[in-house]
Structure 1
Amino acid sequence: MIVRLDADGAVVADADDCSAVHVQTTLGCDGLRAALLHTGTGSVLDGAGAEVVLDVAVLRSRAALVATDPDWAQRFDELVASSGERLTDNGLGLRVAVERPAA
């Protein structure tokens, strides 16, 4: 699952692929922080913007809009349950890597 994030919003791509989650963006750390706040998607975890915490409930609701696999909800729940240390202590956030395209 890919969360494509820009200054105007967040779009989930490949929602049916519940094997992993990452964020794709061209935004720098400050822009990424602002976009996550603006979209209610999550927060920046480190000062470099290499990792973010996505709100699991927001991710689920956005991904569900574009998922087509009939057992998607179960597979999403399994993804979250198997996230281990990538889940925040309260279980509401998921730590994921940020990928930026090569310049």
Structure 2
Amino acid sequence: MIVEVVGGADERPGVQVVDVDDLTGLQLALGAVTDEEADQALRDAGLGRLQDADTGLLDVAALRAAAEPQATGGDWARRWDGMVRQAGQEGRLADDGATLHVAVQSAAGA
């Protein structure tokens, strides 16, 4: 699954959740936006925020709500739970289970 923050010189950045059926990993990809624009776009979408230039904090419940309606697999909910559980085992899930820590990647050209 990929959370993309994309925009251009003349448009306000937007957030989209794509590849929702691929739950083998979670990426936060930033296009041609500043860190401040990306942070604001994530906050405006209710999906999270940037912790810093390298790490995003994504709201687990909001991300699921955004992704699940797009899912096509009948076992999506089970696989989602597995992805979140794996993130917890890897230390990428907040203690309260509400936030996922995700590395920021470049999506220039996205």
**TM-score computed with the length of structure 1 as normaliser:** 0.89
- Residue 86 of structure 2 corresponds to 82
Structure 1's unaligned 5+ residue stretches are none
How does 1:56-71 map onto structure 2 within 5 Å? 56-71=60-75
Match of 2:99 in 1: 93
* 1:10-49 equivalence runs, <5 A: 10-26=15-31, 27-46=33-52, 49=53
Q: Distance in 1 between matches of 2:108 and 2:85?
A: 32
Give 1:101 deviation, angstroms: 3.4
The letter for the 2-side match of 1:32 is: A
Relative to its length, the structure with more strand (as a share) is 2
Supply the AA of the counterpart residue of 1:59: L
| Paired positions, count | 101
Identity %: 38
Partner residue of 2:59 out of 48, 55, 58? 55
Counterpart residue number, 1:4: 4
Q: Deviations over 1:16-69 (max 9, x none)?
A: 1111001112222111111111111101112xx221010000110111021101
- Pair 4,101 (structure 1): closer, same or farther in 2 beyond 3 Å: closer
Q: TM-score scaled to structure 2, two decimals?
A: 0.83
CA distance in 2, matches of 1:101, 1:87: 23
Q: Once superposed, what is the RMSD of the aligned Cα atoms? A: 1.5
- Unpaired segments of 5 or more residues in structure 2? 7-11
Q: Is the contact between residue 4 and residue 17 of structure 2 (CA under 8 Å) also seen in structure 1?
A: yes
